[in-house]
């Protein structure tokens, strides 16, 4: 028996390869299928099943393409209704893979169809659970993503409480827990940086598995402090439920080199968004006017999903040399399948063609401290909880997550200093503001990590007006 966790850091997502006696199963695969197909080929195994723990909201799964390529059966749990062929498992139903068995345990709560898969080894011993978003390390899945007219988030939280206590907590302490996500995912509040653990340790350390917790206490704690879900979550869940274009087609269509003239013509006449995925330092020094920065080196796909509202938006790419395939792939993981090409030769080729470039003013914290005064307009684009923990006394919290909804809070004739925690998010924010006509912007390099070393007044107190914003 082999179990391999295939973890993708930028999405904080864990897929799983499980194999026994020449048969394999993939659990919660990412959009691109080649890694799983190649893994099975290397081991001389046939992929028999693709198990999905639920309709994922934070990424588009590769289950449909993988089933078409391998002949594998897609398995969901109860309540999963799709527009394509699946096998809908009954609660407690078992599936054989070589000498091991996978048992479907219906664990609704995160979503109605959420299912945990229990792996029983060749000796008949319960070995591991693949929990999807039902149980994370240190947390549980948010119960506010699958609300229907007759079902509230409190109803789902109550279901999750019952699922944990009736299906998971009675299992043996030495069982391994393999969740779908780790720290950095928006599917939970306080996920651990670890990606696997024993169930016994989770019973000791995970607040949601306290044996003395009432259902009412659980519902209150699991719902407390949940940020609104990113806007792309519902769209990804629908794609996973209804189907999508084959990834190979998406890659072929998007991984197309364009000359500067071709690139400019498409940008002007097809309404394409120009997305620059280089580093923030490169973008600050020189970029194509009205382009948006979201760098590949950061949490690229989640920020694309949070900030680009139209999932069908045509996208033109500015990429580092040799990174076009990666960029198109990572966009497709969150359902942005309408990439239509990238600029051949990048910004340098654009400049050589005599075309206009733009820049963003960026200063270090020493320069900012020298010109700081209490009337300076400072936009802190970190998350509200980051801002609440400590911030510059005169700063206004303007979270990047909600920049599209809060544009009416900034004025085009005003000068703004923009910072985040380290410099990545502030350049994203500045690029969006600049593309919308805000010209008087100054990025603070190093963000709050550098600012807190200065003598500029700081506080962890939030006055009511800023808290409301």
The whole-number pLDDT of residue 461 equals 54
Q: What is the pLDDT of residues 130-172, one digit of tens each?
A: 999 999 999 999 999 877 778 999 999 999 999 999 999 999 9
Indicate the CATH number of 2-235 among 3.40.50.170, 3.60.15.10, 3.40.50.12780, 3.30.420.40. Answer: 3.60.15.10
Q: 246-352 and 362-423+435-468: same fold?
A: yes
Residue 466 pLDDT > 80: no
User: Would you say domain 246-352 falls under CATH 3.40.50.970?
Assistant: no
Residue 271 pLDDT > 90: no
Cα–Cα distance measured from residue 161 to residue 86, given in angstroms and rounded to the nearest whole number: 28
The arithmetic mean of pLDDT across residues 107-135, rounded, is: 98
Q: pTM here?
A: 0.93
Domain residues of the chain, as ranges? 2-235, 246-352, 362-423+435-468
Q: Which residue has the higher pLDDT, 3 or 189?
A: 3
- CB-based contacts of 329: which residues, under 8 Å, 6+ apart? 31, 32, 247, 251
Q: What percent of the chain has pLDDT over 70?
A: 98
Q: What is the pLDDT of residues 341-379, one digit of tens each?
A: 999 999 999 999 999 999 999 999 999 999 999 899 999
- Our CA dihedral for 239, 243, 247, 249, rounded to 10 degrees, sits at -120
On the 0-12 / 13-18 / 19+ scale of CB atoms within 10 A, 354 is: exposed
Q: How far is residue 152 CA from its own chain's centroid?
A: 24
Could you tell me where the beta strands, DSSP code E, fall in 73-155? Answer: 73-76, 87-88, 94-97, 100-106, 115-120, 126-132
CATH topology of domain 362-423+435-468: Oxidized Rhodanese; domain 1 (3.40.250)
Average pLDDT over the chain, rounded to an integer: 95
């Amino acid at each position: 028996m082999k179990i391999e966790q295939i973890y993708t850091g930028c999405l904080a997502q864990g897929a799983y390869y499980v194999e026994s006696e020449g048969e394999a199963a993939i659990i919660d695969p990412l959009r691109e299928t080649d890694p799983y197909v190649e893994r099975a080929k290397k081991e001389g195994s046939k992929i028999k099943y693709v198990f999905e723990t639920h309709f994922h909201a934070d990424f588009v799964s590769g289950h449909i393409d993988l089933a078409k390529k391998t002949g594998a059966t897609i398995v969901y749990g109860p309540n999963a209704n799709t527009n394509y062929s699946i096998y809908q498992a009954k609660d407690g139903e078992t599936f054989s893979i070589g000498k091991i068995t996978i048992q479907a345990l219906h664990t609704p709560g995160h979503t109605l169809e959420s299912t945990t898969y229990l792996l029983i080894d060749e000796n008949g011993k319960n070995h591991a659970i693949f929990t999807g978003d039902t149980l994370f390390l240190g947390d549980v899945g948010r119960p506010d993503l699958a609300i229907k007219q007759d079902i509230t988030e409190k109803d789902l939280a109550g279901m999750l409480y019952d699922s944990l206590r009736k299906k998971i907590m009675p299992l043996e302490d030495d069982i391994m827990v393999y969740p779908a996500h780790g720290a950095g995912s928006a599917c939970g509040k306080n996920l651990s940086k670890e990606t696997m653990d024993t169930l016994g340790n989770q019973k000791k350390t995970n607040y949601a598995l306290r044996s003395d917790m009432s259902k009412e206490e659980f519902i209150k704690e699991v719902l407390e402090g949940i940020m609104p879900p990113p806007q792309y979550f519902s769209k990804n869940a629908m794609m996973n439920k209804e189907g999508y274009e084959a990834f190979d087609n998406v890659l072929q269509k998007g991984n197309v080199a364009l000359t500067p003239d071709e690139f400019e013509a498409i940008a002007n006449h097809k309404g394409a968004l120009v997305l620059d995925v280089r580093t923030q330092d490169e973008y600050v020094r020189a970029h194509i006017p009205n382009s948006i920065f979201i760098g590949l080196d950061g949490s690229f796909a989640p920020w694309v999903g949070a900030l680009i509202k139209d999932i069908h938006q045509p996208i033109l790419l500015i990429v580092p040399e040799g990174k076009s395939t990666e960029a198109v792939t990572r966009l497709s993981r969150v359902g942005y399948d309408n990439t239509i090409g990238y600029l051949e030769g990048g910004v340098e080729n654009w400049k050589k063609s005599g075309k206009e470039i733009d820049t963003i003013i960026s200063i270090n914290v020493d320069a900012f401290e020298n010109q700081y005064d209490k009337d300076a307009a400072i936009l802190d684009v970190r998350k509200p909880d980051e801002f609440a923990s400590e911030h510059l006394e005169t700063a206004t919290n303007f979270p990047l997550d909600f920049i599209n909804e809060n544009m009416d809070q900034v004025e085009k004739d005003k000068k703004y200093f923009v910072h985040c925690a380290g410099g990545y998010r502030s350049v994203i924010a500045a690029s969006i503001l600049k593309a919308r006509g805000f010209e008087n912007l100054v990025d603070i390099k190093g963000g709050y990590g550098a600012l807190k070393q200065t003598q500029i007044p700081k506080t962890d107190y939030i006055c009511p007006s800023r808290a409301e914003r």
